[in-house]
Every structure is written in structure tokens, then in C-alpha cells.
A and B are shown apart, each in its own frame.
Chain A
Amino acid sequence: MSESTYTVPIGPQHPALKEPENFTLTVDGEEIIDVKIRLGYVHRGGEKAFESRTYVQNMYLIERVCGICAMAHQLCYVNNIESMMEIEVPPRAHYIRTIVAELERIHSHLLWLGVAAHEIGFDTLFMYVWRDREISLDLMEEITGNRVLHAANTLGGVRRDLSTDIISKLRKGSKIIRERAEYYKKIGLTEKTILKRAAGVGILPYKDAVELCAVGPTTRASGVKKDVRKFDPYSAYDEIPFDLITYDSCDVAARIYVRVDETIESTKIIDYAISHLPSGPIGVKAPRSVPPGEGVSLLEAPRGEDIHYCKSNGTDKPERYKVRAPTLGNWASMARMLIGGYVADVPITLAAIDPCMSCTDRMTFVDANSDKTWTWSLERLRKHAKKFYGR
């Protein structure tokens, strides 16, 4: 570029990013002209690890693809394998899965709200929101035994039942969370300094959101009506009435409102599920090996649409398991959002898509000239690592 431009690297280590990625911004003063995104810093080889563990062991490994949407990944996995095994899960288990999934959605959205407030320098809101998030974490600990990485599901149902004690705690907790979420919505609509940083920033028009296949609250804030819970319902979502939240202003403020409104909707879903909880067993016995075939399952994680694909060959270990985490679908829109904005808006724009870098890193080789793609086997990867590090 010409002499008046300047490159600013954001990442891989940067206080604005909770996980490492690299954005090389070409700026002119404070305005961004070009963005180069480079992913792959936290590639952990999870998909390879799935192939050498049994289906039962993979239930816990799949949770650790993402710490915040752990239940979402595990539920997607369990749905996938159960559909391949063709077993029917009892309705009470479906309702309990829905309740824990919605609690996780509340926890994830409140976490995001605090982090977004911290990115724009509003530490007070950050502290308040994370204090209220503790309520949802304590509820999840009552139900499943752990605050994150709950492992509430098992092949064929859920692992623990809800006692009446827990149900009354759920009612109380959901009421408190709803009041606090409504207060935060009021703050988001009236606090001038938040509006100055968030309104009109990081615009993603409706056409671009559809064209670049954005997912989750990012696309719902641009007016696109896309939610897996509505068009491909799983668990108990076809029996529980709830609203699909969209906003039209396509900016960071709309993403804040979408997430806060979804938190309020989640509390309503939990209330409905508690009062209509069917009785019965909480699980059926599942076989140890899966009949040969392929399976795909979709799920609405807090960050967007999560797709899992499984190929089995009849043994008790999967032959190939692929995870398309939601944030991977949002990177193309990210470049569109950043160009034309200011350097000061980069942290809040990055935070507004709720990035979860650990979910997204995948590795494949593409030859741009000949359009050929291939992957490496584990032995090939090991050989390369030994040569690269000189050991």
C-alpha cells in the first residue's frame, strides 16, 4: 500500500482476544482499510483423537471442544449417535436436556455480555453481569455436579434426574436471572456511552449475512430468521413455545439486544419445561457399537449453528468424526464488518460475534493453483514436527 498506511497486528497475544488469532490490520490513521485473518493457533488435533477412542469415551472428549458450549457439543454428538443407533430417548430425558441446554445458553450469553462490556471499558457492568452468571453456574452444579463441562448426557438419556428440591431452586434462579436480564436490557438501551460505542459499529447488511452464511446471534441481529431450534427441532423444542428473536439494525448494539433477549427467552423456556416435565425413566440402555453408516446432526449452540458428522464402520470406535463449530462460519463476515471502521472499534466488533477460537481451528491443505485438497495422517504430521523442531 502507499506510504501513509500502517499495519497494526491484533494478536495472537492481545488483551482484546481471549484466545489467540491473528488479524493484521492495514490502517490509515484510525481507519481500517484491509484485514488479513490468520487462524490455526489453537489447533489441538481433536478430530484425530476421536478416531482412537470408543463412543463412550468420546462423549467426554467432545465436550472439551469448547468449554462454554460444552453441553451443546455433547448434545449434538449424542443426538447424532442415537439417530445412527436408532434408539428412542424417553421424553423426560428430552426435557431435562432442554433445561440444561437453556441454562448453558444463559451462562454463555451472560459471559459474553460481561466480556463485551469489558472490551468497551465498562468494568462495572462486567462485574455485575458475571456476578449474576454465578446463579446459572450454581444451578448447573446442582443438576449435573459440575459448573462447566457438565457431562449431563449419556447415550440413551441423561445421567441424573431432577429432584423437587432442584426444581424449586431452578424456579427461583430463573426468576432472578430474568429480572437482571431485563435490567441489563434497559441499561443497554439507555446508557449513552454504550450506545456511542455500539450503535452503528460493525455493520453487516442483511444481504451479506445471507451471502456469507453467518450463523447465530450475529445473523439474527441482521434480520435473518435462522434458528436451528425452529427449523429442525431437537430434544423438546418442538413442544415448547418460544420466540425467534431478530433485530434489524445490523450493528453491535443489535447483537447485544439479541443476546439479552435470548437470555430472557431461555428463562421462559426453562419455566415452561419445569411446569410441563413428564414423568418416567431418564434413559434407555444403549448398545456399545454403532451399525455402519453416516450421520449428521445440527444444533443451536449459544454461538450459532453447530454441525457434527459421523462415519462409522460397525466397530465401537468412529471411523471419522467432523465438527463444524459455529464460529468458523462467522469469520468471512468478520472481514466485512471490520473494513471501514476504526481501530478503536476492533475489540468490540471482534467480541460481538462471540468468537470461540478453540472450536474453529481445523487443518487441511489446499493447493490454490490446482484446486486439490488433501490431509495428512498422524505419522506424516509427527515426521513433520520432528523435522521442524530439529529433534
Chain B
Amino acid sequence: MIEVLKLLIIPGIFFLFSLALFYQWLDRKFYARLQNRYGPLHTGRQGILQPFADFLKLLAKEDIEPKAVDKYIFRGVPILFLTISITALFLIPMSGIEAFTHFEGDLIFILFIMSLVAILAFLGGWCSTNRFSTIGGLRAAVQTLGFEVPLAIAFIGPAILAQSLSITEIVRWQAENNLWAIALNPLGFGIAIIALLAELEKIPFDIPEAETEIVAGWQTEYSGRKLALLRFSFDLELIMAAALITALFLGGPTGPISVFPGIIWFLIKATIVVLILSNLRALFARFRIDQMVSGSWKYLVPLAILQIIVLQLILG
């Protein structure tokens, strides 16, 4: 019974969904304030209900399916996106040192889920049989070639410290040794943030859905309910990225004052990561796909390998 409550409420589906909408609001508000404008303002107090209103509006819109698309893939992509993102979220500890479910090697499982997300983006673009969607889908696939390897290598750093490939164990190691992994892994933290920006398709890496070049990239043909689910799963991916960084580098849901429950610490740290990601979103222009992939292999991968070497030298 307690398990079912945990699944549904905290740290389960209700908590995750409201957190997704809250982070979308926070991201938009912070981005707008950096640009000297208001952001969402009128729906609810300071626009806090705006993401929810957008979601409801999209659900109510007409869901147009062009005749030439591959029907089953087209319909399946948004649903799979949503379910995969939620599956990944259950593996990350949010309310205590132990995640809702954990097993040895779930870090690799999360990396696998990120590749699946990229494949889904490619499939979504490919089955839409629209020129712009095809280009967007191809760009999504090529972008995966760029960010996956540095991301994986950056994640291995904390795993080496904790001698385990389970996120729960990494958080437990950081709590027991009272040491955040970022202290020994600063370069890995930076590379993980940059590579996660590419995974979330945010500026400067929003190349697959570049608005001014290819209309909406691989999401061009989606509308109505499917688009609502897609956008919602992007917010869930934002939580996944913030929660991963918090758990692997910033010590997870633990803090110096043990009176507060772990979830408060988790929220504080994840919010700071979301604000960092918003700030980086406002700071740069968009890269070209060839610049992104070549830059990633020329700079990110060697730096990530260097970080691992330095870590090994420190440890032993």
C-alpha cells in the first residue's frame, strides 16, 4: 500500500508532474528576466499556471495527422517519449538516499534511455515524411553522435569514486564520506552540463528543432494531444537532467541540516541546476550541426578523458 502511494504521489507521478510544470515556469521566468522582460504574467499569480494552461490548450486543439505518415510510429513516438522519461525518473533518488527502484548498473540503463530518446526523435522526424521533419530527425541523430560519448565518460567519474554503477550507491557514498563528487570532478560537472544541454535540445544545441531554419524540426507535424505529450515529456527530461546532476555530482537529497527531509535538499539543488541551464540557454547563439559534432569530439571528449585520468591518479 505504501509502495502504491509512493508510486502515485511522492516521489511518484503526481509530484513529478507538478514539478515538471513548475520547472517549465521557472525556466521561462528566469529566461525572461535575464532578457529584461516579464515572462508569463497573467495566468495565476505571476503566471505560475501558464505551463498548465498551455498543456490544456494543446489537449483541446485539433490533432491533425497527415495522410502520408507512418501511422503507428507517428502515434507511438509521443507516448513512448513520455513513458521512457518517467521510467528514468524512478531510478534517481529524490526523497531519500534510496531511489524508488534501484539495481546495480542503473547508470548505464539511464544512458541507454537517453539514446532511446534520441532514436525516438529521429523516428518522429522520419515517419512524418515532411522535408523539414526529415532534416530535423537527421540532425537529432547526428547530434547524438556528438554528445553521447562525453556524457557517458563524464558520468563514469562519480561511478569510479563510489566503486559502483548504481546511482543510489553513488549518493550513498557521497553521504557517507560527506564529500560531493563535484569537488574531485569539476571538469566532469562542466562537461555533463554541456552534454545535457545537447540532450535536452536547448540553445546552443537546439539544432534539431531550430525554429528559424527548419520551422520546428522533427516536431513539425505534431499537433494537438501528441504535441502536448511531447512538450510535457521535454519538461520531464529537464527534471531527469537536473536530478541526475544533483545525484551524481552534488550529493543528492542530503544536506548538512538533517532536520529537513531529503526532498527539500533535492529540490534546492535541482532548482539551482535548472537555473544554471536556463542561464546557459540565454547566453549563446545556436551552433551549426557540423560545428557541434566536431567541437564535441575535439574538445569535450579529450577533456572528459583527462578528467578520468586525473581522478585515477588522485585515487591511487
Contact = CB atoms under 8 A, between A and B. Distances in A.
Interface of A: 6-9, 14-16, 30, 117-125, 127-128, 131, 191, 193-194, 196-197, 342-347
B52 interface: no
A346 B213 CA distance: 7
A344 B285 contact: no
B288 A119 contact: no
Contacts, number: 74
Contacts of A6: 131
A124 B286 contact: no
B258 interface: no
Contacts of B287: 193, 196-197
A345 B36 CA distance: 28
B35 A123 contact: yes
Given A121-B206, A343-B135, A15 B215 contact: yes
Given A8-B135, A118-B212, A122-B284, 7 more contacts: A7-B131, A8-B132, A121-B285, A121-B286, A123-B282, A124-B282, A196-B291
Contacts of B283: 124
B289 interface: yes
Nearest to B35: A127
A324 B37 CA distance: 39
B309 interface: no
B131 A117 contact: no
A118 B285 CA distance: 9
Contact of B37 (A127, A196, A343): A127
A371 to B, nearest CB: 37
A191 to B, nearest CB: 8
B34 interface: yes
A124 B34 CA distance: 8
B285 A15 contact: no
A194 B285 contact: yes
Nearest to A10: B213
A15 B36 contact: no
A27 to B, nearest CB: 9
B204 interface: yes
Given A127-B36, A193-B204, A347 B289 contact: no
B210 A197 contact: no
A257 B146 CA distance: 32
Interface string B185-210: 00000000000000000011011001
Q: Which of A6, A123, A345 has the most CB of B within 10 A?
A: A123
A238 B34 CA distance: 44
B35 A343 contact: no
A194 B287 CA distance: 9
